[in-house]
A and B are shown apart, each in its own frame.
Chain A
């Protein structure tokens, strides 16, 4: 469709004219005119809702909301076209078969071996070995070999050595969806562990000997402690209501030596509505400070984030400080339990704060234990009531921790944002389906690629420059402030307003420091070369011409290094009064904006003379042209810069 206008949400004056394309996998908007032909790519699987609004004089508006929080507002001149696009998108955004998803057609031009290699990057058995398991207390169990006991669990589960197959099967029959207690994290320093399960089918009075033995076995696997925490992550009221349906929670009288604890995290429906409310606030057009803060509070979002963090902190404390094992469950044990176990692991073990470790953590607590990715993130058309931002909340918890511990994580914010993006993108097979069983049936590993390999390949983009493996923040357990520090939880505009670049800091400290570090590395190399050359020169005085020319090459190379000098920064609409100023008739509106940007570019080049006041010889000029603005070089998976993707589509 031609002559479509893409509106800028922040400023109604800026609208880009271009052509809209629909392909089998993407919506693509290509701007007319400008030589750059700016492109906006949106994966169908990212579309969360499409809204056709009332036709106006200028055309028919179409509003596309995406699961990665992008909001696209198009105006299509012809009502008919708009309707066609709308109908097509509704169908395309709601695939009914897995085979329709992007990952089955996505081909990053890797051969079979590379693909297999990619899937092997994260190996959970290796991870349990890293924890020190199997050992005297824990072993791998093949009781779920053919998914015979629990179809949402992995085939390989780690259980206490003293838990026989009989106990496990017995316990599984007493647990919702047969999700029996299994090991999530083991702390080899003090033998304390985190186990996870679903709620017991206790109703008002039911008991199960095997289940009691199972918990006993978990407690005994930690000989240093004489009790076990059982943490129910639901609000008490919800758990009690479940008793009427024959479910419920552990009765302290029936289980020997447990301490039972509720930590109220709301259910998926509350969370879905909360996010919805927060996104409405984010979408407000020029909100006042009160609108924003009031809306943020009203959404309850940060309160929920804090509840998840508090639960994670409680468990990490029990394990690290008290040396007590913890069994965590909620209702089915695949949402809140996954959030809480992974937050606790992240606090406890610095390994999970590395890039590789974080991939392992998601693979362990989310993918393998049957977090229902397909249902929660609506990959296939399904029940909208099943959709909920469960992993989004976990990802935000990590970001909140990163804000409090800037040196503790090997990866940066971008890493989190890209993982969130790919949970919804269906470009890689990792997060398909609802369980390991389904993924194996679909032969995901043979037919799709792994996100982890993709991220690992580009890991330079995701590094936190402040991370040092020998820094104190990267050692041991993190102890976040518990109760009163509510103000530590902040709105994450980098995620929820991620596509409104105008709202973010215009200069990225992370990118700047990465550039500096990269340059330091080059300098180190050059220093080596120079030293060598100097030594040679001192020995024999030959070949200086060659040396000289080489040196010049070097310095040129260095000068080019990391410069990216686009501070494309234009003022917002600070006042509505300005627009109607009478004396400026000829150049108003859109033209004016582009003209202004041009003048700024001109200004920039002329101003370089001012800033580059360093002498050419010293090499300081290398620094002065390295602008910290990361704007243009962000690897943005949706702007179509991914060359692999482009190749695929051209073919």
Chain B
């Protein structure tokens, strides 16, 4: 298919762009296969706006006489308005945008056409390989092994080719366990807590069904992670009720009788459409400029977004507490083990492991616990808060995770190497990107699409020093401790950087950040100078002494 067929009017002049907090600008609008480009020709302030079609969540058109207006709502939650003279032009442009922003074939997406303008220093596709992760693990324990059982994605289609499992469990047993778990997602290692050797594993629900099926290999596998005489916790991210209902559909949960060494705790983390609706309501409230204070708070409350944040964080804290404080191993699962499970396991690692609070460590966490773990990004992030179509698979699961990270970052502003911008950047790229990183739903699909060969990795771009400097937190000082966030309602806040990003003037906050940066920069410069002088002095003194000795 040629994009040109979809673009009936590639260019329109005298278009006026409206954005909140900016003066309206007149300029030229161009459509290309992947971008909407608006350029103002004003002499004093020439500017260009480039918008990926895939970033467009929904578009509305209105007409007043022959003046058409298109309102574009983006997945990054921004809303812009374009006034286009000429009814025909406007209709053509609107229909082109609509078609181009809803391409159904992945291979037509921009990452397959994007040619980077920067020098690639490190191929991001090879930055975070499971082998490296395993090597780190073997330096502290030899109880685990790398299994290639899923090499051809034949055992579990949503797992990566290699996974880390207990050494004592052979591939044959794994195959049996896979039959016993939803979507074949058998328990694998998620995190090893060096401090006390406790581990966190994740899986999907066991397929016990109504007649209480059991699987000896499954029991053996998870028991293999326990120290002699010790017990573990199973954190089920569903309420007991939901877990019980799952049995009717062949799913279920671990029965005490068959897993006597494990204690099950149910936490209720919502799924799919409930989360999606929550996002839609929240964004609606944030964009509603008309209401008074009461309506704002009640709408915030009614969206339930912060309730979800609280629930997810609480479950993650619980998992971390079991591991660090109770000295117990933990298995986390929900139904499929691709959504709430990953929220819990990845947040628990941020709480427990200082490495995950560095930029590289966090990237590695996203790769391990989200991309390789088979979170279906393409399904979940197909639409954002403005979508009209109610599809079943969309859910802001990853955004909720990022929001939770932000909440912890806010409570521990000096313990993270990255800043809020880094999290916002990941949110944007998960929904629309020139990079292939978040395409596809799992490693299997990514390898079929040949993404590493055909597209550029987000990490190749981010991990260059020019970009990194934008994402570094000037306040960062390595904090090797476990950080326990507060989950009280008073401690959780709306993530303004995402939800009010386009609705509030950010100038004063930006200035504050700049000021902060300068204070620290000045300190570092001084330190360097003092050190240089000290060294110089020391050298001169030794010279003196040598001369004297002579």
Contact = CB atoms under 8 A, between A and B. Distances in A.
Interface of A: 10, 282, 286-294, 296-297, 300, 302-303, 306, 404-408, 465-466, 468, 471-473, 481, 483-491, 493, 497, 500, 502-507, 509, 512-513, 516-517, 519-520, 523-524, 526-527, 530-531, 533-534, 537-538, 541, 544, 547-548, 551, 555, 567, 569-572, 574-575, 577-578, 581-584, 596, 600, 603-604, 607, 610-611, 617-620, 622-624, 626-628
A523 B301 contact: no
A58 B543 CA distance: 75
B50 to A, nearest CB: 28
A551 B536 CA distance: 13
A527 B297 contact: no
Contacts of A628: 413-414, 475, 477
22 contacts: A289-B304, A292-B490, A294-B301, A407-B511, A408-B508, A486-B293, A487-B296, A487-B496, A502-B486, A506-B412, A506-B483, A509-B414, A509-B516, A512-B475, A516-B520, A519-B523, A523-B523, A537-B544, A569-B484, A570-B484, A578-B322, A611-B477
A497 B490 CA distance: 8
B292 A551 contact: no
A299 to B, nearest CB: 10
A617 B527 CA distance: 12
Nearest to A524: B526
Nearest to A548: B541
Q: Which 8 A-B pairs have the closest CB atoms?
A: A292-B489, A406-B512, A297-B297, A293-B301, A484-B289, A303-B293, A523-B526, A486-B296
B523 A583 contact: no
Contacts of A618: 531
A507 B301 contact: no
Contacts of B307: 288-290
B257 to A, nearest CB: 16
Interface of B: 195, 230-231, 263, 265, 267, 286, 289-294, 296-298, 300-301, 304, 306-307, 309-310, 314-315, 317-318, 320-322, 325-326, 410-415, 475, 477-481, 483-484, 486-494, 496, 500, 503-505, 508-509, 511-512, 515-516, 519-520, 522-523, 526-527, 529-531, 533-537, 540-541, 544-545, 547
Contacts of B544: 537, 541, 544
A502 B263 CA distance: 28
A306 B512 CA distance: 23
A178 B389 CA distance: 66
A145 to B, nearest CB: 45
B260 to A, nearest CB: 11
Contacts of B503: 485, 487
A512 B531 contact: no
B476 to A, nearest CB: 10
A407 B508 contact: yes
Contacts of B230: 583
A419 to B, nearest CB: 22
Given A503-B486, A628-B477, A531 B533 contact: yes
Given A574-B317, A574-B321, A505 B291 contact: no
Given A567-B481, A611-B480, A503 B294 contact: no
A300 to B, nearest CB: 7
Nearest to A519: B523
A246 to B, nearest CB: 33
Given A289-B307, A530-B530, A486 B314 contact: no
B81 to A, nearest CB: 17
A578 to B, nearest CB: 7
A503 B491 contact: yes
B298 A406 contact: no
B28 to A, nearest CB: 32
B294 A291 contact: no
Given A297-B297, A487-B500, A596 B515 contact: no
Contacts of A541: 544, 547
A617 B477 contact: no
Contact of A530 (B515, B523, B534): B534
A473 B511 contact: yes
A574 B493 contact: no
Contacts of A297: 293-294, 297-298, 301
A70 B317 CA distance: 27
B530 A526 contact: yes
A548 B544 CA distance: 12
A509 B519 CA distance: 12
A244 to B, nearest CB: 29
B414 A487 contact: no
A293 B286 CA distance: 15
Contact of A523 (B318, B520, B527): B527
Contacts of B531: 617-619
A502 B301 CA distance: 23
A527 B265 contact: no
A627 B414 CA distance: 9
Nearest to B318: A574
Contact of B318 (A472, A575, A600): A575
A488 B505 CA distance: 11
A504 to B, nearest CB: 7
A503 B515 CA distance: 27
A493 B491 contact: yes
A488 B480 contact: no
B523 A505 contact: no
A296 B325 CA distance: 34
A10, A596, A623: residue with the most chain B Cβ atoms closer than 10 Å: A623
Given A287-B489, A306-B293, A471 B511 contact: yes
Contact of A581 (B296, B326, B480, B489): B326
Contact of A578 (B195, B326, B484, B508): B326
Given A619-B530, A623-B477, 11 more contacts: A306-B293, A406-B511, A407-B511, A504-B491, A512-B413, A513-B519, A527-B533, A537-B537, A575-B267, A581-B263, A603-B481
Contacts of A306: 293
B537 A607 contact: no
Given A297-B294, A530-B534, A619-B534, A516 B515 contact: no
A607 to B, nearest CB: 4
Contacts of A282: 490
A404 B523 contact: no
A644 to B, nearest CB: 33
Contact of B479 (A530, A567, A571): A567
Nearest to B492: A289
Contacts of A505: 410-413
A300 B295 CA distance: 11
A621 B469 CA distance: 22
Given A293-B306, A541-B544, A569-B484, A484 B290 contact: yes
Given A302-B297, A534-B533, A516 B484 contact: no
A607 B483 CA distance: 14
Contacts of A289: 301, 304, 306-307, 309-310, 489, 492
Contact of B475 (A294, A489, A509): A509
A627 B297 CA distance: 36
A522 to B, nearest CB: 9
A555 B527 CA distance: 12
Contacts of B291: 486
B487 A572 contact: yes
B289 A507 contact: no
Nearest to A10: B488
Contact of A571 (B231, B290, B325, B477): B325
Nearest to A293: B301
B301 A551 contact: no
B481 A600 contact: yes
Contacts of A555: 534
B313 to A, nearest CB: 9
B412 A507 contact: yes
B533 A610 contact: no
A569 B483 contact: yes
Contacts of B493: 490
A191 B210 CA distance: 83
B512 A507 contact: no
